[in-house]
């Protein structure tokens, strides 16, 4: 896709998150707190995609997504690919992969969970089954849909 390639190459340094399923782009912008800094961000919503019909794309200048952020990204956009750009070149390109567990990132939605009162890092195990992606709290052992998850305030 030449037009797509152009978008990737147009930045000197940063990250291009591609192949996000249409509709998830805005959520990812918020989740990764991409709007909190003053980096230039280009967002494409409902772009035509060969494989999924439509896709969202996010291009952030001067910010290289960490591996931790890439695995958080996988929870909300399992089909996404991450391109790390340096010196106008794609230095690193990979498909995100779903982590088996996530520590210290998500707040447990259960207000009776011990992690809400004790100072312990939350731990969620990810389970992908017929019901879709579910996150199981290690402490209260309740299952949650990813849509109800929020981030621990640091």
Q: Which residues lie near Zn ion (CB under 5 A)?
A: 108, 110, 113, 137, 139-140
Answer yes or no: is 108 a known binding residue.
yes
In 3D space, the residue among 85, 94, 63, 95 whose CA is nearest the CA of residue 5 turns out to be 85
Residue (12 or 141) nearer to Zn ion, CB: 141
Answer yes or no: is 19 a known binding residue.
no
Tell me the three-class secondary structure of 98-150, residue by residue.
CCCEEECCEECCCCCCHHHCCCCCCEEEEEEECCEEEEEECCCCCEEEHHHCE
Least distance from Zn ion to the Cβ atom of residue 134, Å: 13
Answer yes or no: is 147 a known binding residue.
no
Residue (105 or 108) nearer to Zn ion, CB: 108
Instruction: Say if residues 20 and 58 touch (Cβ distance below 8 Å).
Output: yes
**Known binding site for Zn(2+): residues?**
108, 113, 137, 140
**Known binding site: residues?**
108, 113, 137, 140
């Amino acid at each position: 896709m030449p037009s797509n390639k152009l978008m990737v190459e147009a930045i000197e340094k940063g990250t291009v998150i591609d192949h996000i399923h249409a509709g998830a782009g805005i959520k990812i912008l918020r989740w990764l707190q991409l709007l909190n800094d003053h980096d230039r961000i280009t967002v494409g919503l409902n772009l035509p995609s060969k494989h999924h019909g439509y896709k969202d794309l996010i291009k952030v200048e001067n910010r290289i997504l960490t591996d931790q952020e890439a695995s958080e990204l996988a929870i909300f956009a399992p089909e996404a690919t991450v391109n790390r750009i340096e010196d106008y070149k794609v230095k690193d390109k990979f498909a995100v992969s779903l982590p088996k567990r996530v520590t210290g990132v998500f707040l447990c939605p259960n207000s009776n969970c011990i992690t809400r009162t004790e100072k312990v890092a939350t731990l969620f195990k990810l389970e992908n089954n017929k019901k879709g992606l579910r996150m199981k709290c290690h402490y209260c052992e309740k299952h949650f849909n990813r849509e109800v998850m929020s981030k621990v305030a640091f």
